[in-house]
Each structure stands twice: as C-alpha cells, then as structure tokens.
Structure 1
Amino acid sequence: MSSSTVSLRQGAPRPAGRRGPRFGAFEPWFYLAPAFIVLIGLLGYPIFQLVNISLYDYRQAQVSGAAPLEFTGLGNYQQLLSDPQFWAVLGNTVLFAGFCVVITILVGGWLAVLATRLRPWVRTLLFVVSMGAWATPAVTGSAVWLFLFDPTLGLVNKTLVALGLHAFDGYSWTYDKWSAFGLVASEVVWCSFPFVMVTVYAGIQAIPTEVIEAARLDGASMGQIARTIMLPMLRPIMMIVIIQSIIWDFKIFSQIYIMTSGGGVAGQNLVINVYSYQQAFAASLYGLGSALGVIMTVILMAVTLVYLRLIKKDGEAL
C-alpha cells in the first residue's frame, strides 16, 4: 500500500492553499458579503420602501390610520407625467444642474492649472481659503449669500450703485426667475469648486514632468500642452469630477429652499428635490413625493451607468 493511500485513509489534511472548486467559485462573494449586507441595510431597504410607498395613495389620513391604504399602481407616476408643472420643474433642474456643473468645472480646473504655477506659500493660501468655502455648511453659505445680495443692506448692491449702476438700487435678486437661479448657482459654484480644484491639481501633479518638458522643448505653448497632453491624461479624473458634480448639483435642496423662500415666486425656481419636499411634507402627498424620489433616483442611476460605460469603453479597470 502506497504512502499516499495511507495518508488519505488516516484523514490527513489537504495542503494549505488547495480548496475545492465550489468554494473557489464563491470565495469572492464570501469576502464581499459584509459590504453587501451593509449596503442592503443602508440603501436597499430605504429604496424598497420608497418604491413601495409610491405605489399607494398615501396621505396623512393613511399615516394616522383614519383611512385604509389604497393601491394605485402606477397612478402617481401617471399623474406626474401628465402634469405640466412636473416637466417645468424637471427642465429647471436639468438646466440649473448643467449650468452649475459647467461653471464649477471651468473655475475649478482653471484654478488647478493656476496653482501649478504659483509659489508654494501662495498655493497653500489658495487651498486653505478654498477649503474654507468647501467646508461651509449649505445653510450657512446660503444665509451669507442672501445677506451679501440683500436689496437694501447688501454689499453687492451698494458696490454696484457706487460704481454708477443705479438700476441696482433696491434691486431684488430673488424676484426674477433667472436672477434667482443665478444667485443660487453662484453660491453652489462657490462651495463646489474647491473639490474640482484639488482633484484636478492632484491629477496634474501625477503627470510625468518629462512629458511636459519635452513638449515645451518642441515649442508647444501652455494652451497646446493643456489641450493635447494634460486633458487626455486627466480624462479619468475629469470624468469622476463631472459625474460627482452632476449628482451633487442635481440633488440641490438647501440652497434653493433657503435663498428662494421655498421655490421662488409662484414656484418659478422649483427643482425636483424642493418639489418633492412640497408634495410629500407640505401637501402630505407622501405617495406622490415618493414617486418623485424614485424618478430622481432612476435619473441619477442612469447618469452613473453612463459613466461606468464610458470607463469600460476606455478600457479602464472598474
């Protein structure tokens, strides 16, 4: 009898590192299980409840138990899609978020490039000041912005009048639809550009200096270097920054609600988050508000899937 047969009969343990084929197939999922459990608890269950409530006529009477729940299926979604105000609010949200994203990327990217050409102490001062803007809570920033643009006491109006622009004497920035959106957008950009600036600056620092020096020796200008060398190498970072900015700006609530007093004159400055809040809590139409939340979640998931598809198309590791 061979020694190997004897060891098998005696129940000798298998060599370390050798596992059965079934365990090997499920081994990655075994290590990911704790993270999946946390995600299901923090995200899966709330999303399930959001979708569930959106399928019912759920109002204050149902919450208090004075009336039974009435299943409406897709009734809340049909009501929203046939409501012209919903489409107006969605248009406001897309235009507002798109404008904020573009300006934030331009300002943050330009400052990141500028930071590479500043002296170390000036660059440090720029980053410290910018981080102060980024760390300011949305409620505090909105209150400060409102005070600066106050019609009678605001520093901005007083400065413009002192420069000879008397049309801004007592001018209300929140009365007109587009000036109100511009006011809110300026505050959003002010507290968002530091993230773009720091991220893009870190990406620029990761670019090999030899590549840029070689381009300079070949006679390329700074604009040509930025367009043909830096931007292509920064594309993965820029994609992350853009998607993050879209998600953040699409979900704006505090700035709009505070600076336009709940959505502006006759709701002209409503965005989806504020509109959902009005329907769910002000009007106690919890089912309708949940349907708005589901629609917003679907839109943001679609944006994220587009981002992942672009990454996969470029051959980058997920």
Structure 2
Amino acid sequence: MDPPPRPVRRRFAVSIRPAALWPYLLIAPTVLGAAFLLVYPLVRNAVMSFQHFGLAELIRGGAGWVGFANYRTVLEDPEFWTVVRRTFWWTGLNVALIMLIGTLVSLMLVRLGRWMRLAVMSALVLAWATPVIAATTIFQWLFQSRFGVVNWLLVKLGFDSYRDYTWFAHGGATFAILVTLVLWQSVPFAALTLYGGLTAIPAELYESARIDGAGAWQTFRLVTFPMLRPLFALVTSLEVIWCFKCFAQIWVISAGGPNGATTTLPVYAFQIAQSLHKYDLGSAVSTLTVLILLGVLVFNLRRMFRQEGAL
C-alpha cells in the first residue's frame, strides 16, 4: 500500500504595496507625538515613583531604587486618604451638576427658535473656548474682596455683610467658587453634545409618547434617556476625567487652600513634588491618581456595556 501523499506546503509571498502604507505614514506623526507627550512622561513618572528622587538627585542624578517604599509612605499617611475623599467629593459633585445642567440646557435648545438657539449656542461655544487661565482670572476679579463685581452687586441688593468680604479666605466659599468655575467651563461641552444627540431622535417616538398621554418627565425617562444612554455614559466618562484631573483652576485661585480645603490629588502631588522637593513621593501620588481614575473609568465603562447588552 502506497504511503499517503505528503502535504504540499505553499509559500505565500507577502507583498506590500506602497499605497497601503500611506494611511500608516499619515498617522505616524500623531502617534509618535502622542507617545512622546503622553506615554513617555507617564512611564518616566512611574519609574521615578520607585526611586529615591529628591532635589539632590534632580541636580546630580544617580537616583537609587527603593521599591515600594514611596507607596507605603503615601498610603500610610492619613492626609492622603483625606485628599482622596475630597477628590471623590469634588468629582462627584461637579459631574452631577454638569450632567444635570447640561441636560436641561440641551432640552431648552431643542425648544428654542432658530435665532435664539443660535445666540445661546454661540454663547456656549465662547464660554467653552475661553482659555482656562483667562477664565480663572476673570473669576478672581469677580470675587475680589474690595473691587469685585459680586460683592458690589450683593451690597447693592442689601446684603451689607458682603462689603469687602474675602471669599478666598474661607474654605467653603473657595470650594463653591471653584465648582462654579468648572461648571461654567464644562456645561457647554455636555449641553452641545447632548443637543446633537437629541436632534437625531426620530420625532415619531415623541408623537407616540404624546398620543399615549406621557408627560414631559415620562417622555424623557421612556424615550429620550434610553435613546441617548450611550451618549450620556460617554459624556459622563469624559467629565469624570476632566474634573478628576482638574489642576490649573485650583492652583491659580487657591493653590489648594485655605487650609487644604480645595486640595485634590493632582494639587497634592504637585505640592509634594514642588514645595517639598520630594519628587519620588509626588510621582507615587500621581501614579496612584492615574490608577484610581483608571479604575473609576473601567467600572463606568463596564456598567455601560452591561446595560447596552441588556437592551
């Protein structure tokens, strides 16, 4: 009996046409730029968190490895956990208010006339496009103790106790001002994004809801929100990132004060690294900040995909 024929191995020649490389060549500068500006600092920061890196090492080099000692120092510090709780409170409050106000503004835009809608959208875009430092400076002027517009207006309205009131000397007042500033900068993005989603919902669904006798709240709960659930989840995730890593506004207005009332994790990491010159501990705090934010986003995205699979 003859042995079975041996399988014939075919050699496939891989030919890459020059035209197929063009998409990769076009995106290569963006990928390389993002890797240099984002990936390298993140990796360098993570490496520094495992070293003894102070002012002397910054000048002469030669940082030694200390393993997880920096993380143990940070995690055993009660102040770190106080800042973590404050950061979650700061993020949760801002995101909840942004999504609430942004949703209401987007619903208002749908019901406005053409020219009024154009005016409101133009104002939102201008507020959104204002540079962060410029907007922060404006809020400093508004709440200035002697010549601020807010104190002047409150005194004119009869609240004489606000004459020369120092807003930035009180932790609660400073926190409220920063929340207002972040809302002013963030609501336009949420409102315009949700308005774009609202315009894509078929009008027949709203007509059916009205015929069935649904009110405004029932229409939103049964028609609008289910149709825009993925968009709501996406905007919420982006706002969580924006608020959690918020630094410039807090540092310019209060530098985390007074008495640490506005110190969040990014500000805390900067204070340790720059004020105390403990760059290793600052790197550990910032690495933990990234990990905490990543965990929050993964939890939110998993919940979003789970809800999408249940539909």
TM-score where L is the length of structure 1: 0.85
* Root-mean-square deviation over aligned CA pairs: 2.6
After TM superposition, the structure 1 = structure 2 runs for residues 160-171 of structure 1, keeping only pairs within 5 Å, are: 160-171=154-165
- Structure 1 residues 163 and 315, CA, compared in 2 at 3 Å: closer, same or farther? closer
> 1:206 and 2:206 equivalent?
no
Between the aligned partners of 1:209 and 1:140, the Cα distance in structure 2 is: 41
Matched with 2:213 is: 219
> 1:154 and 2:148 equivalent?
yes
Between the aligned partners of 2:101 and 2:38, the Cα distance in structure 1 is: 33
Shift of the alpha carbon at 1:311?
A: 3.4
Matched with 1:305 is: 298
Tell me the amino acid that sits aligned with residue 214 of structure 2.
Answer: A
1:206 counterpart SS class: coil
> 1:292 and 2:290 equivalent?
no
Match of 1:85 among 76, 79, 87: 79
Between the aligned partners of 2:199 and 2:105, the Cα distance in structure 1 is: 14
- Structure 1 residues 42 and 155, CA, compared in 2 at 3 Å: closer, same or farther? closer
1:220 counterpart SS class: coil
Match of 1:257 among 251, 266, 279: 251
Shift of the alpha carbon at 1:39?
A: 5.8
Match of 1:143 among 137, 140, 145: 137
Matched with 1:283 is: 276
Tell me the amino acid that sits aligned with residue 279 of structure 1.
Answer: I
Match of 1:54 among 49, 54, 59: 49
Matched with 1:180 is: 174
Between the aligned partners of 2:258 and 2:191, the Cα distance in structure 1 is: 35
Between the aligned partners of 1:197 and 1:223, the Cα distance in structure 2 is: 18
After TM superposition, the structure 1 = structure 2 runs for residues 240-255 of structure 1, keeping only pairs within 5 Å, are: 240-255=234-249
Shift of the alpha carbon at 1:38?
A: 6.6
Tell me the amino acid that sits aligned with residue 118 of structure 1.
Answer: L
Which string of whole-angstrom CA distances, capped at 9 and with x for unpartnered residues, describes residues 12-50 of structure 1?
A: x98xxxx99xxxxxxxxx97x968777655544332211
Tell me the amino acid that sits aligned with residue 188 of structure 2.
Answer: P
**Identity rate of aligned residues, in percent?**
32
Between the aligned partners of 1:228 and 1:126, the Cα distance in structure 2 is: 27
Which string of whole-angstrom CA distances, capped at 9 and with x for unpartnered residues, describes residues 209-250 of structure 1?
A: 000011112221122101111111111000011110011001
How many aligned positions are there?
A: 292
- Please list every run of 5 or more consecutive structure 2 residues that lacks an aligned counterpart in the other structure: 1-7, 15-22
Equivalent pair of 2:172/2:261 in contact (CA under 8 Å):
no
Which string of whole-angstrom CA distances, capped at 9 and with x for unpartnered residues, describes residues 179-221 of structure 1?
A: 1110011011001000000111111111110000111122211
Tell me the amino acid that sits aligned with residue 281 of structure 2.
Answer: L
Match of 2:230 among 209, 232, 236: 236
- Please list every run of 5 or more consecutive structure 1 residues that lacks an aligned counterpart in the other structure: 1-7, 21-29
Matched with 2:88 is: 94
Q: Which moved more, 1:67-76 or 1:34-43?
A: 34-43
Between the aligned partners of 1:253 and 1:145, the Cα distance in structure 2 is: 15
Shift of the alpha carbon at 1:161?
A: 1.4
Shift of the alpha carbon at 1:131?
A: 0.8
Q: Which moved more, 1:37-46 or 1:122-131?
A: 37-46
Shift of the alpha carbon at 1:315?
A: 4.1
Between the aligned partners of 1:147 and 1:37, the Cα distance in structure 2 is: 41
Which string of whole-angstrom CA distances, capped at 9 and with x for unpartnered residues, describes residues 242-264 of structure 1?
A: 1100110011111111111x111
Between the aligned partners of 1:169 and 1:36, the Cα distance in structure 2 is: 54
> 1:71 and 2:76 equivalent?
no
